[in-house]
């Protein structure tokens, strides 16, 4: 019989986000990671609500653990969806979820989105989940190689999530556990920053799971830490008199390898229904696959700065006494722009800098998007620093993150 001998979990905001919208659950025998999305705090609400539902554990029943786990994820979807339609501020929010349940002999996995589960067994490190992401769909269709997908500017767009629809298709799979197996569940803040070869190296060389978790998060941050990073790790051991290997011999059935499991998942997906239409972004014309990103000339930001500063110096001289009050009034407006390192971000205030380094804006929220991920035809407009209300900009960023802002 299997048991979890040790587990460790760690989450980190990363280097560029201001808030952590990831959530996790780790109480043997159930382990999960959720990565929320949506403007303002909606992503945090979505991932938190999903984890809260999962924390109830598997319901009793005659169904397999895998079926009951998938039903639990469906419940989490219903809950996130319910919250999103009950509160305008939460409309359109969503979350990924990857959940692993350790049964007596088998390990069941249920999954939606692009958070991943991996298995380190002896010297083999294998991914157990397929991302529900635009680029992975293209890889499956042979339109992109896995290497191109890793570097693709639209790699953070997901095609399936909990929340946006009342029902969701849940991927699920079970595999025979073995003592010594180490499972890693993580958000894309880890896998978009750290390649699988390095993940495997860190995991297999760390002296303890806790040490491995710290090193994984450090590696993601060292690579830029563009997103929230969450890592859940656990190791299996065997308890009781009959070993898993003996049971296999008696049953005469070899445990599937992780590669076989993935192949089965892929085959099941090929036969399964397509993902919900509204969540999947419309098929992109070929040019969207290799977007031409105009290079910004190095002097462009400076030109923009000069253009803004000149009138403002005059304004400052004439209206110095009321600038303080003006700054306060400015706090109610927002605009979309980019941070110095190239992330699309929401700024509160107005897009001006006063002399002596006084900004009339502050960073409110840094998305995981880069300008190259915005629709080509809308990029200029979207980043033109148009002033918007809190509601408008929240909706806009949520749609951008969901890939729902269409080109025109």
- Please give the order of strands across the beta sheet that includes 94-102: 22-27, 30-37, 94-102, 106-112, 171-176
Q: How far apart are CA 277 and CA 254, in angstroms?
A: 38
Answer whether 234's CB lies under 8 Å from 183's CB: yes
* Residue in the structure block whose two tokens are 């209300």: 389
Chain-centre distance of CA 5, in angstroms? 28
Q: Which is nearer to Mg ion, 35 or 395 (CB)?
A: 35
CA angle 147, 151, 154 (to 5 degrees): 120
What minimum distance in Å lies between the beta carbon of 228 and Mg ion?
6
Structure tokens at 199: 């993940």
What minimum distance in Å lies between the beta carbon of 190 and Mg ion?
9
Decide: helix, strand or coil at residue 194. coil
Q: How far apart are CA 153 and CA 192, in angstroms?
A: 11
What minimum distance in Å lies between the beta carbon of 373 and Mg ion?
14
What minimum distance in Å lies between the beta carbon of 14 and Mg ion?
9
What minimum distance in Å lies between the beta carbon of 279 and Mg ion?
16
Q: Which is nearer to Mg ion, 115 or 215 (CB)?
A: 115
Contacts of residue 354, Cβ cutoff 8 Å, sequence gap at least 6: 309, 312, 316, 323, 360
What minimum distance in Å lies between the beta carbon of 146 and Mg ion?
19
Q: Which is nearer to Mg ion, 187 or 348 (CB)?
A: 187
Q: Which is nearer to Mg ion, 25 or 361 (CB)?
A: 25
CA neighbours within 13 Å on the CB side: how many for 177?
Answer: 28
Answer whether 32's CB lies under 8 Å from 48's CB: no
What minimum distance in Å lies between the beta carbon of 368 and Mg ion?
6
What minimum distance in Å lies between the beta carbon of 229 and Mg ion?
8
Residue 358: strand pairing partners: 354
Q: Which is nearer to Mg ion, 224 or 256 (CB)?
A: 224
Q: How far apart are CA 399 and CA 408, in angstroms?
A: 15
| Dihedral Cα 281, 283, 287, 291, nearest 10 deg | 20
Binding site residues, Mg ion, CB under 5 A: 35, 187-189, 227
Q: Which is nearer to Mg ion, 174 or 187 (CB)?
A: 187
Q: Which is nearer to Mg ion, 35 or 137 (CB)?
A: 35
Instruction: Tell me the three-class secondary structure of 34-64, residue by residue.
Output: EEEECCCCHHHHHHHHHHHHHCCCCCCCCCC
What minimum distance in Å lies between the beta carbon of 215 and Mg ion?
19
Q: Which is nearer to Mg ion, 189 or 403 (CB)?
A: 189
Q: Which is nearer to Mg ion, 14 or 177 (CB)?
A: 14
């Amino acid at each position: 019989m299997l048991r979890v001998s040790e587990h460790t979990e760690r989450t980190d905001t990363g280097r560029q986000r201001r808030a952590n919208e990831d959530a996790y659950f780790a109480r043997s025998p159930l382990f999960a990671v959720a990565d929320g999305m949506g403007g303002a705090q909606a992503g945090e609400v979505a991932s938190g609500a999903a984890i809260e539902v999962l924390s109830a554990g598997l319901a009793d029943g005659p169904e397999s653990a895998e079926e009951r786990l998938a039903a639990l994820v469906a419940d989490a979807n219903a809950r996130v969806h319910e919250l999103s339609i009950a509160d305008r501020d939460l409309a359109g929010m969503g979350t990924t979820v990857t959940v692993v349940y350790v049964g007596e002999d088998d390990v069941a996995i249920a999954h939606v989105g692009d958070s991943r589960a991996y298995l380190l067994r002896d010297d083999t490190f294998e991914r157990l989940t397929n991302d529900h992401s635009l680029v992975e769909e293209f890889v499956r269709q042979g339109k992109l190689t896995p290497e191109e997908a890793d570097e693709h500017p639209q790699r953070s767009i997901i095609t399936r999530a909990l929340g946006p629809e009342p029902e969701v298709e849940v991927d699920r799979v079970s595999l025979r556990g073995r003592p010594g197996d180490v499972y890693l569940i993580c958000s894309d803040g880890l896998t978009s920053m750290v390649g699988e070869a390095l993940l495997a190296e860190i995991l297999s060389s760390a002296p303890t799971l806790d040490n491995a978790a710290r090193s994984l998060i450090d590696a993601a941050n060292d690579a830029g830490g563009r997103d929230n990073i969450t890592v859940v790790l656990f190791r299996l051991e065997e308890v009781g008199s009959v070993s898993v290997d003996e049971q296999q011999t008696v049953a005469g059935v070899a445990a599937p390898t992780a590669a076989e499991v993935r192949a089965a998942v892929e085959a099941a997906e090929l036969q399964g229904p397509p993902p919900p239409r509204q969540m999947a972004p419309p098929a992109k014309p070929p040019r969207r696959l290799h977007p031409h990103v105009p290079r910004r000339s190095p002097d462009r930001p400076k030109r923009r700065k000069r253009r803004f500063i000149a009138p403002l110096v005059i304004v400052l001289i004439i209206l110095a006494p009321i600038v303080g009050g003006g700054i306060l009034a400015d706090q109610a407006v927002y605009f979309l722009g980019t941070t110095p390192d190239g992330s699309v971000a929401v700024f509160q205030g107005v897009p001006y800098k006063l002399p002596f380094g006084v900004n009339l804006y502050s960073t409110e929220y840094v998305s995981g998007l880069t300008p190259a991920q915005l629709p080509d035809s809308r990029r200029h407009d979207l980043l033109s620093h148009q002033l918007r209300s809190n509601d408008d900009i929240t909706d806009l960023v949520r749609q951008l993150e969901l890939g729902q802002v269409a080109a025109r």
